[in-house]
Chain A
Amino acid sequence: EAQVTQNPRYLITVTGKKLTVTCSQNMNHEYMSWYRQDPGLGLRQIYYSMNVEVTDKGDVPEGYKVSRKEKRNFPLILESPSPNQTSLYFCASSLSRTYFNEQFFGPGTRLTVL
Chain B
Amino acid sequence: SQELEQSPQSLIVQEGKNLTINCTSSKTLYGLYWYKQKYGEGLIFLMMLQKGGEEKSHEKITAKLDEKKQQSSLHITASQPSHAGIYLCGADSGRNEKLTFGTGTRLTIIP
Which residues does B use to contact A, with CB under 8 Å? Answer: 1, 31, 33, 40-45, 48, 88, 90, 92, 97-104
Pick the contact of A107: B42, B97, B101, B103 (CB < 8 A). B42
Can you offer 18 A-B residue contacts whose CB atoms are under 8 A?
A40-B103, A41-B103, A42-B103, A43-B90, A43-B101, A45-B98, A45-B100, A48-B98, A59-B1, A90-B43, A100-B31, A101-B48, A103-B33, A105-B42, A105-B44, A107-B41, A107-B42, A108-B42
Q: How far is the CB of B108 from chain A (nearest CB, A)?
A: 16
* A79 at the B interface (CB under 8 A): no
With A107-B42, A108-B41 in contact, is A100–B102 under 8 Å at CB? no
Pick the contact of A48: B41, B97, B101 (CB < 8 A). B97
Which residues does A use to contact B, with CB under 8 Å? Answer: 4, 31, 33, 35, 40-45, 48, 50, 56, 58-59, 88, 90, 92, 97, 100-103, 105-108, 110
| Majority DSSP secondary structure for residues of B touching A | strand
Residue of B nearest to A44 (CB): B101
Pick the contact of A100: B40, B88, B99, B103 (CB < 8 A). B99
* Pairwise interchain contact A31-B97, C-beta atoms closer than 8 A: yes
Would you list the 5 A-B pairs with minimal beta carbon distance, nearest first?
Answer: A42-B103, A105-B42, A43-B101, A101-B48, A105-B43
Q: How far is the CB of B71 from chain A (nearest CB, A)?
A: 17
Report the Cα distance A112→B88, complex, angstroms.
24
With A42-B102, A48-B98, A59-B1 in contact, is A103–B88 under 8 Å at CB? no
Inter-chain contacts of B90 with A (CB < 8 A)? 43, 100
Most chain A CB atoms below 10 A, which of B44, B45, B102? B45
